[in-house]
Structure formats: structure tokens, C-alpha cells
Amino acid sequence: MAETKYTVTGMTCGHCAASVTEEINKIDGVSDVAVDLPSGAVTVTSDASLSEAAVRSAVEVAGYELAQ
């Protein structure tokens, strides 16, 4: 199992967090997504390391941005 932390900008409410969680969960191998709304921290647990590009794309589909 791999656990990776990201920072997502633009999330302001539970719906935002749910949208990001839903899109990241669509990535093959993802087993859990935990969002800390106040800090924008997103912890992704997966079977193996994920490409940052895949996570970035999922976050953008949800309407937000992965911090640099």
C-alpha cells in the first residue's frame, strides 16, 4: 500500500471535498481518499504509487487544482 499527500486549492465545502474524493476514487488502484477541508490536504491510499498527472487530472475534472 502507498499513501501520498497532496494539497488541493479551491475547496470550500463538503460538496467540494466529495467531488474531489469521487474523481480520485475513479483512478485504478485507489482504495481510500481522505480530505481535510480546512487545510486542503488530500491523502490518497492506493495499491501502488500513482502518477501525479493522474491525480492532477482527477482533481481538475472535479473543478479544482492540485497545488504546485
* Rounded mean pLDDT, 40-55: 95
pLDDT band at 13 (very low <50, low <70, confident <90, very high): very high
Spatial distance between the Cα atoms of 64 and 16, rounded to a whole number of angstroms: 8
Instruction: Give the model confidence (pLDDT) of 14-46 as tens digits.
Output: 999 999 999 999 999 999 999 999 999 999 999
Structural domains in the chain, CATH included, are: 2-66 (3.30.70.100)
pLDDT for res 68? 72
Q: Give, to the nearest 10 degrees, the angle between helix 52-61 and helix 14-25.
A: 130
